[in-house]
């Protein structure tokens, strides 16, 4: 707690804060980082394996294999979320499961599942974008800005240089 907040507290409250800090268990930062690294790395390793499978057995080129790989990772994340396994993995791994594609799919799926009792349109359809909506809007706006900058500054595309 900052010194400014301590000054506003009564002496009894300050003593209580000290007692709470003594009793609060220490966070295992190294273990948490290691778990996040292992989980995130495993998710990425699975994704790389899926992409390699599309290249080797699906006849895709390196550039073409990205889209179906993302689709498979989204489906896997959605299935694990609906079975309740993704949340258990996330409890153990922490931030390691926030790998963008699978973490976003988990967020959308869990939000949809949470509100399915409110109906398919207003519950699932409306509420699943409540949490993910800002991410989608930010991503769309950022992509538009980057495309405009690319168009303006890239030689030969119609830009200034």
Q: Nearest-5° angle of CA 97, CA 99, CA 100?
A: 135
Question: What is the per-residue pLDDT for 107?
Answer: 82
pLDDT tens for residues 26-64? Answer: 888 999 999 999 999 999 999 999 999 999 999 999 999
8 Å CB contact between 92 and 42: no
Q: CB-based contacts of 102: which residues, under 8 Å, 6+ apart?
A: 43, 73, 74, 76, 77, 86
8 Å CB contact between 96 and 40: yes
Average pLDDT of adjacent 10-residue blocks, the chain of 161 residues: 62 86 87 93 95 95 94 95 92 87 85 77 72 78 91 69 52
Mapped onto helix, strand or coil, the DSSP state of residue 26 is coil
Question: What is the per-residue pLDDT for 31?
Answer: 94
Question: What is the per-residue pLDDT for 30?
Answer: 94
pTM of the complete model: 0.68
8 Å CB contact between 155 and 161: yes
Q: How far is it, in rounded angstroms, from Cα 94 to Cα 19? A: 28
Question: What is the per-residue pLDDT for 57?
Answer: 95
* Count of beta carbons in the 10 Å neighbourhood of residue 53: 15
Mapped onto helix, strand or coil, the DSSP state of residue 61 is coil
Question: What is the per-residue pLDDT for 155?
Answer: 67
Question: What is the per-residue pLDDT for 53?
Answer: 96
Question: What is the per-residue pLDDT for 133?
Answer: 73
Burial of 3 (0-12, 13-18, 19+ CB in 10 A): exposed
Tokens of 84: 């309740």
CA distances from 56 to 47, 74, 89 (A): 14, 21, 30
8 Å CB contact between 84 and 59: no
């Amino acid at each position: 707690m900052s010194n400014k907040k301590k000054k506003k507290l009564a002496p009894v409250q300050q003593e209580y804060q000290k007692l709470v800090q003594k009793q609060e268990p220490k966070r295992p930062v190294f273990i948490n980082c290691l778990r996040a690294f292992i989980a995130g790395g495993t998710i990425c390793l699975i994704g790389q394996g899926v992409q390699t499978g599309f290249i080797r057995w699906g006849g895709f080129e390196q550039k073409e294999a990205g889209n179906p790989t993302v689709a498979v990772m989204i489906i896997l994340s959605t299935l694990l979320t609906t079975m309740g396994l993704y949340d258990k993995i996330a409890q153990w791994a922490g931030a390691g499961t926030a790998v963008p594609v699978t973490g976003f799919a988990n967020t959308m799926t869990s939000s949809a599942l949470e509100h399915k009792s409110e109906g398919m349109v207003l519950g699932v359809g409306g509420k699943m974008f409540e949490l993910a909506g800002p991410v989608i809007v930010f991503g769309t706006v950022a992509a538009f800005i980057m495309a405009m900058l690319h168009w303006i500054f890239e030689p030969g595309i119609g830009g200034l240089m």
